[in-house]
Amino acid sequence: MQKGKVYIVGAGPGPADLLTIRAHRAIGEADVVLYDALVSREVRQLFPEKAELVFVGKRAGDGRDVTVRQNAIHAKMLQHSQEGKTVVRVKSGDPMVFSRGAEETSFLKENEIPYEVIPGISAFNAAAAEFGVALTDRRGSNSLHLLSGTDVSGKPLNAQHLADILEKRGTAVLYMGTKVLDQIVTAFDPAERGQISATIVSRTGLPDSAIMEGKLTEVAEQHSIAPLKTPALIFLKKY
């Protein structure tokens, strides 16, 4: 039997009308849909009735090892594609920005499974559009840097690396950064903290999205008192 095809689809920040036309088409042709926890209900409503729907996302505190979970996803893609089915792997945001999209495409290549990556609007784009956050600005910010608040081992972002970006008038966007926000603040001396602006955007694209903005120290203090919901992004600039 001819192998099926796997589509790795970016579901964007939530609203279904922010999907690309190609993403809509791929979802509509699916025999099997593998979807993550952050894929919105609005997008899930597009999944065809004929398709087998398989939830493969992470739930907080579920205790499952991430490597075991990812290997199980790979196994499902392999199994269903070998059965000649069209498999649609739906991931929130863009599938190649701070996700395991690279691992999945590597697996598909190694097993010679036909695949296509369909990009989606990433959270940083969506948040900037929703709340008018400038990613670059010719009056000051001349570069954009996407960073993770922690590395794969859980170690916080290198503060010197972040300081170098801000010093060169770059905009830093931190994914998964709210848990280490206090550590980021203390990594800068008091004079530097006063020159850094911070914006936290929570759950962009969803009905309960929210924003918190001000100087880094003020935002960190406010967030410690009334934390915004996750997922959240932190935008940092020096002025």
For the annotated catalytic residues, the residue numbers are 36, 58
Burial class (CB in 10 A: 0-12, 13-18, 19+), 15: middle
Sign, CA torsion 199/222/155/151? negative
What are phi and psi for residue 159, nearest 5 degrees? -65, -35
Q: Whose structure tokens read 């945001």? A: 93
What single-letter DSSP state applies at residue 33? E
Q: Which amino acid is at 127?
A: A
Residue 42 half-sphere exposure toward CB, CA atoms < 13 A? 13
Secondary structure (3-state) at 48: coil
Q: How far is CA 36 from the centre of its chain?
A: 11
Q: Give the distance, in angstroms, between the CA of residue 91 and the centroid of all CA atoms in the same chain.
A: 9
Neighbour count for residue 52 (Cβ, 10 Å): 14
